[in-house]
Structure 1
Amino acid sequence: MFNRKTHWQSIYQEKSPTDVSWYQKEPKLSLELILRTQIAKNEAIIDVGGGSSVLVDYLYKNDFTNLSVLDISENALASSKKRLGNIATRIKWIEADITEFQSPHQFSLWHDRAVFHFLTEAPDRHLYVNVLKNSLRAGGHLIIAAFAIGGATKCSGLDIVQYDVEKMIAELGEDFKLIAEKSEIHITPANKEQKFAYFYFTKKSNDNLVIIV
């Protein structure tokens, strides 16, 4: 039986963080969208599946002070802690499967470039969205990236789900308002192209929700 945690622990044990296909030297589009939200520097940000990503480095350099990184792999988190040195003590590190995560507080911004497209089973996606809704404050910002339609069908030996804006909206439901969508051709360390789609949503407040009886 497939075990997500075991799989990702093995990946980060066998490969350097700079050798995995999703490695970005500079997360330009993620950073652009995060800065576009204009949230305050002390508001809570979580990077879901960001274990070895350098996004947290760039957010710290941009003076954001309330940063959390969640990953299912302890090895991935350890690589970032080692890279950041003393700075790592100023960041919250969360080892968890996102479908089982119980947030201690609500976040103002949720970023995910690494997880959602790996959830190929509808029940897992439903759990993810429920965690997202419970963890993101009303008016909060969601930046989620996934493999785009017509791109990769597998990653890290696993099947993935491709998304366009209609499919993403269908998964997230009525609680989120689309603000922007962007596309990116990511060049892997092996010099291959991967098509990504980025979606920026805000979570509607209760006043914005339409209740149909």
Structure 2
Amino acid sequence: MSELNQHWNQVFDNKQGEQLGWFEDDISQTVKFIEQMSLDNPSQIFIPGAGTSQLVDKLYNDGHQLLLNDLSDSALSQLQERLTQDHDRDNDAEYLVQDISQPLAVDANSIDAWIDRAVLHFLLDEHAIQGYFDNLKAAVKQGGYVLLAEFSKQGAKKCAGLDVHQYDLEEMQQRLGEDFQLIAAEAFEFINPFGDSRPYIYGLFIRQ
């Protein structure tokens, strides 16, 4: 078990819901961008750093096939238990406890939408960031979507006691490469459960 795995397990074991600084009771900002994706139902959706996000319930209820990744097995256990208890549909989501910067056991060109809210910015080492984008490029199919919602250049420099890498659209585009076209973007001020402002940058891309 890695130090980061232990860190995140401790976070999710000791805090729930609004005790988490990134908790979204209102998921409409992210949903607004998902609604701009032309997704069939069901679509294959990959969520890195799924944690215990309320967004998962929405996508699950919409009938999509979900592949839920997190470094914390505790977070995914909580999420799986919630989906099993709260929904009529058989819990056929897949759960992947893995460092998103390491090679993923995901079929190539199989993902219709890659939805990342507040995960990429935790990767600091260039090798780890490159590993993340290698996974993304291997998994997302042509015509598939990528939504990146990360701390902006005007955002906080730390989250959950960890340093973060702040982003702008130019860096997102540069790291994705010319195969991905920006189709929507927005600077967004998220007010966390403690009343603090957290400036984000949202970028929605399509793979051409």
Does TM, scored on the shorter chain, surpass 0.5? Answer: yes
Q: In structure 1, what residue type is equivalent to 2:97?
A: E
Q: Give the match's secondary structure for 2:57.
A: helix
**Whole-Å separation in 2 of the counterparts to 1:18 and 1:80:** 15
**Whole-Å separation in 2 of the counterparts to 1:93 and 1:18:** 23
Q: Work out whether 1:75 is the aligned partner of 2:79.
A: no
Of 127, 134, 141, the match for 1:130: 134
**Whole-Å separation in 2 of the counterparts to 1:138 and 1:3:** 36
Q: Give the match's secondary structure for 1:90.
A: coil
**Whole-Å separation in 2 of the counterparts to 1:124 and 1:17:** 28
Aligned residues with identical type, % of pairs: 31
Of 87, 98, 101, the match for 1:99: 101
Give CA-to-partner distance per residue, 1:99-145, whole Å, 9 cap, x none: 12221351100000121101111111111000000111111100011
Of 159, 183, 205, the match for 1:155: 159
2:38 aligns with 38
Q: How far did residue 14 of structure 1 move?
A: 1.9
**Whole-Å separation in 2 of the counterparts to 1:187 and 1:52:** 18
**Whole-Å separation in 2 of the counterparts to 1:83 and 1:187:** 25
Range that drifts further, 190-199 or 8-17: 8-17
Of 156, 176, 184, the match for 2:180: 176
2:115 aligns with 111
Q: CA RMSD in A?
A: 1.6
Q: Work out whether 1:89 is the aligned partner of 2:88.
A: no
- The answer for unaligned runs of 5 or more in structure 1 is 205-213
Q: Work out whether 1:65 is the aligned partner of 2:49.
A: no
2:206 aligns with 202
**Whole-Å separation in 1 of the counterparts to 2:29 and 2:60:** 16
Q: How far did residue 90 of structure 1 move?
A: 2.7
Give the aligned length. 202
Q: TM-score w.r.t. structure 2 length?
A: 0.91
**Whole-Å separation in 2 of the counterparts to 1:177 and 1:150:** 24
2:14 aligns with 14
**Whole-Å separation in 2 of the counterparts to 1:121 and 1:176:** 23
Q: Give the match's secondary structure for 1:89.
A: coil
Contact in 2 for aligned 1:26/1:55 (Cα 8 Å): no
Alignment of 1:186-201 (within 5 A): 186-201=190-205
2:25 aligns with 25
Q: How far did residue 160 of structure 1 move?
A: 0.5
1:104–1:18 CA distance, 2 compared to 1 (3 A)? farther
- The answer for unaligned runs of 5 or more in structure 2 is none
**Whole-Å separation in 2 of the counterparts to 1:20 and 1:184:** 19
